[in-house]
Amino acid sequence: KRAVKGTARSDKKLTEYGKQLLEKQRLRAYYGVMEKQFVNYFLEAKKSKEQTGPALVKILESRLDNMTYRMGFASSIRQARQMVTHGHMLVNGKKVDIPSYRLSVGDQVALAPRGKKVDLFKDNYETNFVTSYPYISKDKDLKATFSAEINREDIPVEIEDQLIVEFYSKNM
């Protein structure tokens, strides 16, 4: 027996709206951000002087949970988010346990003393030591600095920002 054609989602041709929605959902899922917070980030990006799409991705990229992951303290964004929530991360020497905390250029992120006791975090950092981004500089002693402005092309997220901007332009 053959399956009836057109029943699988993958068989269907996506509409323009469908493509925009999918792209928005992909970006949201990648950074693990809820819809309401994502909308707020979009509105903030819209007000910024640069293009809305790249500005949105930069805002998401500078979140503490994401930077903890990019700096190599965690092996996934989810793990990084949990590390932050459980108080294992210091920003400029102060404990910050808010995953959405926004880092600024010059901020230093380090493992808290209790985080340094966890071998997994140290192993992650040493394993991912070479994996580096132009906007992050890392030290050997479990510290990393958000050292430069982020350029959209340096962010390894394969997303068509423009589709998200179009999605919200029509649906707000």
Query: Which residue's entry shows tokens 């994996």?
Result: 131
Q: What is the mean pLDDT of residues 18-28?
A: 95
* Position 7 pLDDT exceeds 60: no
- Residue 146: the pLDDT is 94
Name the token pair of 98: 């808010």
* Position 1 pLDDT exceeds 70: no
Q: pLDDT tens across 74-129, in order? A: 999 999 999 999 999 999 999 999 999 999 999 999 999 998 999 999 888 888 76
Q: pLDDT tens across 113-171, in order? A: 998 999 999 888 888 766 678 999 988 888 999 999 999 999 888 999 999 999 999 88
β strands within the chain, DSSP E? 89-91, 94-95, 108-111, 136-138, 143-146
d(CA 146, CA 63): 11
Tally of residues, the chain: 172
Rank 1-5, 13-17, 42-46, 155-159 by mean pLDDT and report only the highest: 42-46
- Residue 143: the pLDDT is 92
Q: What is the mean pLDDT of residues 14-20?
A: 92
pTM of the predicted protein model? 0.88
Question: How much helix, strand and coil, in percent to the nearest 5, is found in the chain?
Answer: 50, 10, 40
- Residue 14: the pLDDT is 86
All residues at 6 or more sequence positions from 148 whose CB lies less than 8 Å from its CB, including other chains: 105, 134, 135
Name the token pair of 14: 């996506």
d(CA 99, CA 83): 9
Find the Cα–Cα–Cα–Cα dihedral 61, 62, 63, 67, rounded to 10°.
80
Q: pLDDT tens across 47-72, in order? A: 999 999 999 999 999 999 999 999 99
d(CA 15, CA 19): 6
d(CA 63, CA 60): 6
Contact 73, 118 (CB under 8 A): no
